[in-house]
Amino acid sequence: MPRPAFRQLALPTQAPYVDRMPPEARATRRRLRACHECDWLMALPPLHSGEQAVCPRCGHAEVRRHRYPAQRSLALAIAALACLAIAASFPFLAFSVRGVGHGIDLPQTATDLIAHHAPLVAMVVLLTILVLPVLYLLAVVWLQIGLLGGRPLPASRSAARALAHLQPWMMADVFLIGTLVSLIKIVGLAQIALGPAFWAFGAFALLLLATNQSVDRDWLWFALAGEPPAPEGSQTGRPAAPQGLTGCHTCGLVGRLDAAGHGQCRRCGEPLHARRPHSLQRTWALLAAAAVLYVPANVYPIMTTVSLGRASPSTIIGGIVELIEMGSWPVALVILVASVIVPIGKLLALVWLCLVAPRARGDRSLTRTRMYRLTEFIGRWSMVDIFVVAILVALIRAGNLMAVEPGPAAVAFGGVVVLTMLAAMSFDPRLIWDTPTSTADEEAPQ
């Protein structure tokens, strides 16, 4: 594979140093990366703003370059925090039925669950929509302020490592969809009022997504700690593991492994492994636990509606049927996909990948990798039903006239979502591409 010729990238000279000098303009040697999905070792090409470097073997996006990454991320993170402060300080939703009304603020969607003996569900809601997003945004602000000032602030490397670990568990966008589903379910039963916090939270969810997309991790880590030279003897255009190399999943740096296939990243300090330790065993165990929990999640009621003293328990399937009877076909379809099709599909897809990975020989590896990407992406959207329960429990409080109580299935279904997400994270997609040395050259891109 020919070595790319690095060239200086033209950026305004009045820009801060961290923005004016991208990594490829400051590096005099090739910067190597090992694909996290197929283990292909490659050299990063020079990138302009808006461009990305993708793996030539599997198409995975390794690096995305943004214009003014520090200012962009800082501005978006501060705006997101401001919107969240508004969302947490003003009324979120209110409803009234037959002259009886009740309003809630955003934190009540989690805290009210504790009063209804569902602390685990409350903790999941609180972490995914408030605590973890705040920690993520504060870490972004801390990092970018230090970089723009020309001197990283204390604990910047720890904050940068935290970004990669927090990102999958932030679900403000899923909560927003759950809120809309909740409103559609009760709009025919009561009058609904949207408070200022509802609109502020919608803006926060969008800004949080934009902040996450704006963080240029390659540039960030280069600005924080530079880039040590690649291990001697590294050959691009080949898998990294047979060369005793691997790429850090946190900062991307390629490092040398010891004889046992372990090591430590020289830049961020994360442990390195040729393959995730006991990947298939852990994935199987998590899938088995999720499959066990999926039974009570569908058999028991996920919530109970109390109207005029009469309790009406509702399972996940029962709620879908009720929506269809109400004529809300689009909402019923969303719940069907998110709460039934996605969990079952993810379980079956990961089971199949675990079965075929030990016997993979390069054929259909790209198709299997794309399936893995899809299962990893869609898993978090199953939390819609949990958020619907949290919102309705907090909002529908009209004494004996009408109330909603969380059911035992809420805990079980939340466990299914979390366990399947952990299973997808435990599975190492590079196992799909592992082939005998004799066939490694046949897989090289032409």
The answer to the question of residue 441 being in a domain is no
| Lowest mean pLDDT across 36-40, 137-141, 325-329, 424-428 | 325-329
User: What's the domain range around 363?
Assistant: 279-435
Per-residue pLDDT of 59-76, as tens digits, reads: 998 888 888 888 899 999
The answer to the question of residue 445 being in a domain is no
The answer to the question of residue 150 being in a domain is yes
| Lowest mean pLDDT across 148-152, 179-183, 400-404 | 400-404
In which band, very low, low, confident or very high, does the pLDDT at 4 lie, cut at 50, 70 and 90? Answer: very low
In which band, very low, low, confident or very high, does the pLDDT at 361 lie, cut at 50, 70 and 90? Answer: low
As a whole-number percent, the residues of the chain with pLDDT over 70 amount to: 88
Residue holding tokens 């109970």? 304
Question: Cα(354)–Cα(402) distance, rounded to whole angstroms?
Answer: 47
- Structural element, H or E, at residue 246: strand 245-247
pLDDT at 444: 40
pLDDT at 295: 93
Residues 423 and 369 in one domain: yes
In which band, very low, low, confident or very high, does the pLDDT at 6 lie, cut at 50, 70 and 90? Answer: very low
Strand 262-264 relative to strand 271-273, pairing: antiparallel
Question: Cα(357)–Cα(368) distance, rounded to whole angstroms?
Answer: 9
The answer to the question of residue 5 being in a domain is no
Question: Cα(293)–Cα(165) distance, rounded to whole angstroms?
Answer: 25
Residues 58 and 80 in one domain: no
Higher pLDDT, 209 or 11: 209
For residue 442, pLDDT beyond 60: no
Starting at the edge strand found earlier in the chain, the sheet holding 402-406 runs: 310-314, 303-307, 402-406
User: Please, what's the largest Cα pairwise distance for the chain?
Assistant: 77
DSSP 339: I
Residues 363 and 423 in one domain: yes
Total domain count, the chain: 3
Residues 163 and 21 in one domain: no
Q: What is the CATH number of the domain that holds 360?
A: 1.20.140
> For the chain, what is the radius of gyration of the CA atoms?
24
The answer to the question of residue 327 being in a domain is yes
- Cβ count near 327 (within 10 Å): 10
Higher pLDDT, 30 or 252: 252
Residues 158 and 203 in one domain: yes
Sign of the dihedral defined by the CA atoms of residues 434, 281, 425, 254, in that order:
negative
pLDDT at 437: 45
pLDDT at 416: 93
Residues 212 and 155 in one domain: yes
Residues 58 and 158 in one domain: no
In which band, very low, low, confident or very high, does the pLDDT at 12 lie, cut at 50, 70 and 90? Answer: very low
Residues 56 and 196 in one domain: no
Residues 84 and 204 in one domain: yes
pLDDT at 182: 85
Question: How many H-runs (helices) and E-runs (strands) does the chain carry?
Answer: 19, 14
Average pLDDT along the chain: 84
Query: Residues 402-417: what's their mean pLDDT?
Result: 88
Question: Cα(117)–Cα(114) distance, rounded to whole angstroms?
Answer: 5
Residues 392 and 350 in one domain: yes
Query: Residues 84-110: what's their mean pLDDT?
Result: 86
Per-residue pLDDT of 196-205, as tens digits, reads: 999 999 999 9
**Which of 97-111, 353-367, 414-428 is most confident?**
414-428
The answer to the question of residue 226 being in a domain is no
For residue 354, pLDDT beyond 50: yes
Sign of the dihedral defined by the CA atoms of residues 36, 40, 44, 48, in that order:
negative
pLDDT at 308: 64
For residue 385, pLDDT beyond 80: yes
Question: Cα(58)–Cα(39) distance, rounded to whole angstroms?
Answer: 10
Q: Where are the beta strands (DSSP E) in 334-439?
A: 402-406
Per-residue pLDDT of 255-281, as tens digits, reads: 999 888 889 999 988 999 999 999 999
For residue 299, pLDDT beyond 50: yes
Higher pLDDT, 177 or 46: 177
pLDDT at 2: 40
**Which of 74-88, 214-228, 261-275, 332-346 is most confident?**
74-88
Task: Give burial (CB, 10 Å; 0-12/13-18/19+) of 402.
Answer: buried
As a whole-number percent, the residues of the chain with pLDDT over 90 amount to: 42
For residue 11, pLDDT beyond 80: no
Structure tokens at 137: 């945004």
pLDDT at 446: 35
Residues 379 and 423 in one domain: yes
For residue 8, pLDDT beyond 50: no
Residues 102 and 175 in one domain: yes
For residue 290, pLDDT beyond 90: yes
CB 50 within 8 A of CB 155: no
pLDDT at 360: 62
Q: What is the pTM of this model?
A: 0.87
Question: Cα(39)–Cα(44) distance, rounded to whole angstroms?
Answer: 14
Question: Cα(209)–Cα(79) distance, rounded to whole angstroms?
Answer: 12
The answer to the question of residue 149 being in a domain is yes
The answer to the question of residue 426 being in a domain is yes
Residue holding tokens 């929506």? 323
